[in-house]
Amino acid sequence: MKAKNRFLAAILIFCMTVLTGCIQQSDPTEEKLSDNTYAFISKNVQNSYMQKLYQGFNAACREAGVSAIYKAPVSYMPQEQADIINELIEAGVKGIAVAANDENALTEVLQKAMDSGIKVVSVDSAVNASARQVHIQQADPDKIGRTLISSAYDAIGGQGGIAILSSTEHATNQNLWIEYMKKEVEENPEKYSSAPIIEVAYGDDDITKSTSETQRLLQNPEIKAIVVPTSVGIMAAGEVIRNSDSAVKLIGLGMPSQMSEFIENGTCQKMYLWNPVDTGYLAAYALNALNGGQITGAEGDIFTAGSLGEKTVTVDTTGGTEIMLGDLVEFNKDNISEWKDAF
């Protein structure tokens, strides 16, 4: 190649590299919003479960001819979600779906959003009923809580202490599930007399803290099972239990794509979840039905949520309303291979 050609080729490669860098680094949230945009606010930027919700949210927005935008706080501090909501009000989005890091801390800003005409749903982790039009409920919280604790009971044959490793202290969804775990134990005192819940720990949906909390729990010889109702925490717990060859049983909620190894090698006895992609999909369709006037979020409202079919708004346990996605799926050694590529 002649020197001149080599020089031109070098300039071309340089320009392409700069351009590609710009494209990759450009924050999609900085782009100018279309006139009709629905925003999804994640619990945290590092939580990959949230990205599965957004996958479905985005797909539903595309089907409905609406733009979608993903916003994620860097920490689990509720103020960061409040700041994001203020920005979205300014930007003039038409709908907000938020997986809340605190049930009550977003009330004022979400009411401001609704007052300005933005439709609001909470998804995965609820805000209180006055701060949303409706909540998107993944599966019955009563059933989730009771199923998790009774599976832990079964895994240890009813003999030994059970610890819970949750996410953050203020997470509405995990707290509700833990409430039902405790209820199950209280309502069946004889059954659980030798398998009490002895501690609730918090890993903050952070791998490092979930790891050190699991290590700490394993120091307690009374603990024979750990229930981890969070996809982030259960991965950390699986790693610690496997690496320490511990006989402590692991039960919880998690994604098959991340946990198949631990289920196949027996570290995690049973795990449950619903379809996270469908959860996000349902949230976007609910926003669309609110915007189109098919529903107002009141009990008895009915709408069609794309490929999920007809959905009905029902009352929740807090006096607000919710739209239920479906049921829990159990993952174990026998079926995990069928699920690990799904989500």
What is the contact surface with ligand RAM in residues (CB under 6 A)? 43, 47, 49, 124-125, 167, 173, 205, 230-232, 253
Helix (H, G, I), strand (E, B) or coil at 169: coil
The nearer residue to ligand RAM, 235 or 305, going by C-beta atoms, is: 235
∠ CA 296-302-308, nearest 5°, is 115
User: How far does Cα 221 stand from its chain's mean position?
Assistant: 31
Would you say 109 or 165 has its CB closer to ligand RAM? 165
Supply the DSSP symbol for 295.
-
The residue among 43 and 311 lying less far from ligand RAM, judged by its C-beta, is 43
Please say which residue, 64 or 284, places its beta carbon nearer to ligand RAM. 284
Contact 288, 64 (CB under 8 A): yes
Report in angstroms the alpha-carbon separations of 32 from 41, 93, 140.
17, 11, 38
The helix-helix angle for 48-64 and 276-292 (nearest 10°) equals 40
Question: Which of 88, 126 has the CB closer to ligand RAM?
Answer: 126
User: d(Cα 134, Cα 195) in Å, to the nearest integer?
Assistant: 37
d(CA 202, CA 237): 12
Hey, what are 340's tokens? 């690990």
Nearest approach, Cβ of residue 139 and ligand RAM (Å): 10
In this complex, which beta carbon is closest to ligand RAM, that of residue 37 or of residue 214?
A: 214
Least spacing, CB of residue 172 vs ligand RAM, in Å: 9
The SS3 assignment for 269 reads: strand
The least distance separating ligand RAM from the CB of residue 90, rounded to whole angstroms, comes to 27
Give me the least distance between CB of 108 and ligand RAM, in Å please: 23
Of residues 54 and 192, the one with the C-beta less far from ligand RAM: 54
Q: How far is the CB of 16 from ligand RAM (least distance, A)?
A: 37
| Residue pair 213/164 in contact by the 8 Å Cβ criterion | no
Q: Which residue is nearest to ligand RAM (CB)?
A: 49
Quote the least distance from Cβ 178 to ligand RAM, whole Å.
Answer: 12
- Nearest 5°: phi and psi at 38? -110, 135
Q: What minimum distance in Å lies between the beta carbon of 30 and ligand RAM? A: 26
Which strands, in side-by-side order, build the sheet including 223-228? 197-202, 161-166, 223-228, 249-253, 268-273, 329-331
